[in-house]
Amino acid sequence: MAKKTVHLVPHTHWDREWYFNTSRSTIYLIKQVKEVLEILEENSDFSSFVLDAQTSLVEDYLEYHPEDKSRIENLVRNKRLFIGPWYTQTDQLVISQESIVRNLLYGINKAEELGHSFNVGYVPDAFGQGGNMPQIYKSFGIDTAIFWRGVADTTFEDTQFIWEGTDGSKVYSTIMRNGYHFGGEYGIPENNSKKKDYIDDFIGKLDKESNTNHVYFPYGHDQAPVRENLPELISDFNRIDSEREYKLNNPEDYFLEMLESSKNELNIFKGELTQAKHSRVHKTIFSTRADMKQLNNEIENFIVNVLEPILVVADSLGLEYPHTILEKIWKLMFENAAHDSIGGCNSDSTNRDILYRYKVAGDLATNLLEITMRTISNKIKYDNNLNIISFNPLPYNYEGVIEVEAYVPNLEYALYDINSGEEYEYVIEESQELTEYVLKQTIKIDSSKDIYIPEKVYLIKMKVYMKDLKGLGYKSLYIDSNKKNSQLNKYKIDDNQFIENSKYLIELNDDNTIDITDKSSDRIYKNQMVFINSGDDGDSYNFSPPQKDMHVKSINAERTEINVYKNPVNEKLIYSFDMRVPYDLDERANNSASKNLPVTVTIDLEKESETINFNVEIDNNILSHKLSVQFDSGIASKFSFADHLFGPIKRPTRLDEMDIWEEENWDETPISIEPMQSYVALSEESALFSVLTEGVREYEIVGEDFSTIQLTLFRTFSHMGRENLLYRPGRASGETIVETPDAQLLGKIECSFAVYINSCKGLRNVNLAKISKEYLTILPSYQNSDFLNGRMIFSQKREEKALKDNYNLLEFDSKNIGVSAIKKSENNENYLVRLYNPFFDKEVRIPKELKNNETVELDEHTNSKINNKLKHNQFCTIKIDK
């Protein structure tokens, strides 16, 4: 029998921040990267080193030592220093599919610019592996993967196998079942007499688990310095151990050698990898630090759904596409998408840095959109003084309610389509008189030219019922301040406790629940929206119920206020109540409740809308607790459906391993709390009930017959790490001495979500991806008025008035397709449209308007082959000529 080859791979796993912040990490990174460069250059026997597959680490280093760029390029080009394919070591379950794709795109491009991108899906520490990662890897030309967490040996014994993604794509994989730190944390002894014991204990364990003649031995740990005499230690191993061959190697060559001899022996393991027998996956990290999760989701949706498509529209009109600014915004998001950062399992100091990066990314994105819309608006020829330009970032015609902010001379006016003259319905939601402030800011670019200056100025926010807004384009409206709106433009206060539109009737009950009638079938869903408050004895990694808990439901809360507002554009039901709850875990244990938790619910039903929009404001004044909301679908379910990377995933409502985990001594209790991208649904053949979220992407299916969707709104806790939790026995995952008062989220918390119900069609016939994307997409507008040109928004030069008052670049039928991204290529002048199959159990066709276009892989330059159909979870990227 041939000897087994032990591939010892030197590496470091580098958290850019954790209980320490990025500034501290960077100072140490500079020292250690310099040491790695010196050792690789001085010792040819030290053949390679893996810099954690993060290109950002090299960028961080070169910011302070740009003189070393040529040294790094030489080592990277010769495959001795391995960087990329990631920009940062990203999470795969909490963040969006486009964030993952762009992380690899920018990471690979930068690594290739420096000489070579590490061509392995190397993920040493993410808290679980996304089910469609094999397809994403393959589309970047990566057909191998190495990771740590997610597979139990009782489910699948092999450590070397073929991982099949949810679309059927396959990559050759190795799981580091004992962790990336296995070798480095228990370092090779210098004493020769102890090397044999080390081989027996550590190498022997890896050898036993390996199902081929090749053993992957990661040698490194967190922020690990390089072990400079590894070549000599490996020579000692080869002298001491006659049963194995040892070599210092890199993961790319490891796979080449392993697959050459064992490719046909590998078994297949399928799907999402979130089992926590050998390594914790911290399954409730999805709701840790809800404030950060909300910001991440808001900005991700804004960049992908709004900013990039409108930048494509602008580019088609002659404006420059701002690749560099977008790259800056995305890289700020990638820094926050690293597994610990987006997880929120950090010190408060680090989390404040993360929040600041979100602020910068959000500010850059919103101001880039503002100046883009403003420049387009200033190029349109008008005869009116009060113009509103409404933009559509969706690739199809939109009809529905949009929100518009404008400065108007009075609060009684009419709103018209500038092209057709059609009057639009609107309702003013907020108004504020700002005459003196606004007019003092005005700057006249040409003092000889008269401009319209109103006598009064009101800042208003209004909802407008928009018609026929063409895809990927804009429409011009104008305000006639001399005419009154022919419809009611203010809310009418109603004494009834119900609201409705063409699809739903919603009635408020005395116990703070609501009844929802689906008008298409007259089916009534009774006693919906129950808030559940429970204790949280966990930490920054895991929610865990207390040993003694007290659950409080909103059905027992005291109602404090109710208001109903109605208008042809929308109807709103707003009500408040106080939940009597325990102040802290001690009170919960004693079944005592001394505090009122004030909750205000706003239910917004817009004209013709298929979604019921909810906004919940909580004045959080209690400690270490969790707040969830429940909707009972009436659909008894063994499985839930949620969107993950490029399509829906089907998950059991109760995991089989929940019955055996204690017997098998799992590291973490298996629980059926799951992540989503934007929606969760329960479905039967002819009915569907779904909850969409703008905030925390975490749900659980509960109830005796598993018919109730429970959406987590937020949870709070006191420490970074705690020991001996019910859901995580044994050691703490984080630092027990690090208190996290910011994680108690004291003060105002806002949570937004929506419900979509179809009592006539099941999931097979409803495109929830399209419904959720519309819910998460802002259709922005810009007001073009000369009196606003000034210090308030910066003055801008005059533009040539050459653009039409209505425009659209591209439209295609999106009824049966998911749209992931619309952007400009990083490589050429083409526009790219990324589509995916939004259904679970049927193929879909590429829209006829696009079926003859060429397609490319996620790298944006390699041609791909798509036969005009997309199977389950499959995506494609289509080129559109400029």
Domains of the chain: 4-279 (3.20.110.10), 287-378 (1.20.1270.50), 387-490+782-808 (2.60.40), 493-775 (2.70.98.30), 818-880 (2.60.40)
Checking if the pLDDT of 172 tops 90, the result is: yes
Average pLDDT, the chain: 95
Residue 377 identity: S
Comparing 250 with 484, the larger pLDDT belongs to: 250
CB 620 within 8 A of CB 597: yes
CB 564 within 8 A of CB 572: yes
CB 139 within 8 A of CB 858: yes
Neighbours of 265 (CB within 10 A): 14
- What the block records as the tokens of 614 is 């909810």
Q: What is the DSSP string of 24-49?
A: HHHHHHHHHHHHHHHHHHH-TTS--E
| Look-up of token digits 């991982």 | 163
Its sign, for the CA torsion 417, 421, 425, 426, is positive
- Longest CA–CA separation in the chain, Å: 96
What pLDDT sits at residue 795?
A: 76
Specify the 3-state DSSP secondary structure of 683: strand
Cα–Cα dist 146/242, whole Å: 28
Cα–Cα dist 84/107, whole Å: 5
Exposure of 161 by Cβ count < 10 A (0-12 exposed, 13-18 middle, 19+ buried)?
buried
Cα–Cα dist 134/142, whole Å: 9
Which residues, listed in sequence order, are joined to residue 477 by a DSSP beta bridge?
388, 417
- Phi then psi for residue 357, to 5 deg, are -65, -40
Specify the 3-state DSSP secondary structure of 254: helix
pLDDT in tens, 489-535: 899 999 999 999 999 999 999 999 999 999 999 999 999 999 999 99
If you count DSSP H runs as helices and E runs as strands, how many of each does the chain have, helices first? 19, 44
Cα–Cα dist 543/743, whole Å: 13
What pLDDT sits at residue 513?
A: 98
CB 160 within 8 A of CB 173: yes
| Look-up of token digits 């008052």 | 805
CB 61 within 8 A of CB 33: yes
CB burial readout 267-305, b (16+ within 10 A) else e: eebebbbbbbbbbbbbbbbbbbbbbbbbbbbbbbbbbbb
What pLDDT sits at residue 485?
A: 86
- Phi then psi for residue 843, to 5 deg, are -80, 155
CB 689 within 8 A of CB 708: no
Of the candidates 154, 165, 142, 10, the residue with the CA atom closest to the CA atom of residue 86 = 142
| Look-up of token digits 């979604």 | 611
Cα–Cα dist 31/370, whole Å: 42
Mean pLDDT of 357-363: 98
Could you say which DSSP state residue 635 is in?
-
- What the block records as the tokens of 454 is 């109103």
Checking if the pLDDT of 61 tops 80, the result is: yes
Cα–Cα dist 626/713, whole Å: 8
Of the candidates 75, 37, 9, 45, the residue with the CA atom closest to the CA atom of residue 231 = 45
pLDDT in tens, 238-265: 999 999 999 999 999 999 999 999 999 9
Exposure of 523 by Cβ count < 10 A (0-12 exposed, 13-18 middle, 19+ buried)?
middle
Checking if the pLDDT of 448 tops 80, the result is: no
pLDDT in tens, 96-115: 999 999 999 999 999 999 99
CA 23 to chain centre: 25
Over pLDDT 90: what percentage of the chain?
92
Cα–Cα dist 878/856, whole Å: 6
675's CB contacts (< 8 A; 6+ apart) are: 93, 94, 286, 642, 644, 697, 698
Checking if the pLDDT of 449 tops 90, the result is: no
What pLDDT sits at residue 451?
A: 86
Of the candidates 480, 119, 132, 75, the residue with the CA atom closest to the CA atom of residue 272 = 132
Of the candidates 864, 643, 854, 847, the residue with the CA atom closest to the CA atom of residue 169 = 864
What pLDDT sits at residue 336?
A: 97
Three-state SS annotation for 49-60: EECCCEHHHHHH
Cα–Cα dist 15/19, whole Å: 10
pLDDT in tens, 382-428: 878 899 999 999 999 999 999 999 999 999 999 999 999 999 999 99
Cα–Cα dist 447/263, whole Å: 77
Of the candidates 752, 761, 756, 694, the residue with the CA atom closest to the CA atom of residue 525 = 756
pLDDT in tens, 820-850: 999 999 999 999 999 999 999 999 999 999 9
The helix (run of H) or strand (run of E) holding residue 403 is strand 398-408
What pLDDT sits at residue 69?
A: 98
The helix (run of H) or strand (run of E) holding residue 147 is strand 144-147
Three-state SS annotation for 182-211: HHHHCCCCCCHHHHHHHHHHHHHHHHHHCC
Beta strands in 510-551 (DSSP E): 514-518, 523-528, 530-535
pTM (global) more than 0.75: yes
Please confirm whether the linkage preceding 66 is cis (ω < 30° from 0).
no
Cα–Cα dist 668/128, whole Å: 13
Mean pLDDT of 201-214: 94
400's CB contacts (< 8 A; 6+ apart) are: 465, 466, 606, 607, 608, 609, 774
Specify the 3-state DSSP secondary structure of 272: coil
What pLDDT sits at residue 450?
A: 83
Specify the 3-state DSSP secondary structure of 279: coil
pLDDT in tens, 580-639: 999 999 999 999 999 999 999 999 999 999 999 999 999 999 999 999 999 999 999 999
CB 690 within 8 A of CB 637: no
CB burial readout 341-371, b (16+ within 10 A) else e: bbbbbbbebbbebbeebbeebbebbeebbeb
- What the block records as the tokens of 155 is 């489910």
CB 823 within 8 A of CB 831: yes
183's CB contacts (< 8 A; 6+ apart) are: 8, 202, 217, 218, 219, 220
Cα–Cα dist 316/471, whole Å: 14
CB burial readout 423-459, b (16+ within 10 A) else e: ebbbbbbeeeeeeeebbebbeeeeeeeeeeebeebbe
pLDDT in tens, 779-821: 999 998 989 987 777 777 778 889 999 999 999 999 999 999 9
Between the CA of residue 685 and those of 395, 603, 689, 737, 764, what are the distances in Å? 30, 29, 12, 52, 8
Cα–Cα dist 835/647, whole Å: 10
Checking if the pLDDT of 1 tops 90, the result is: no
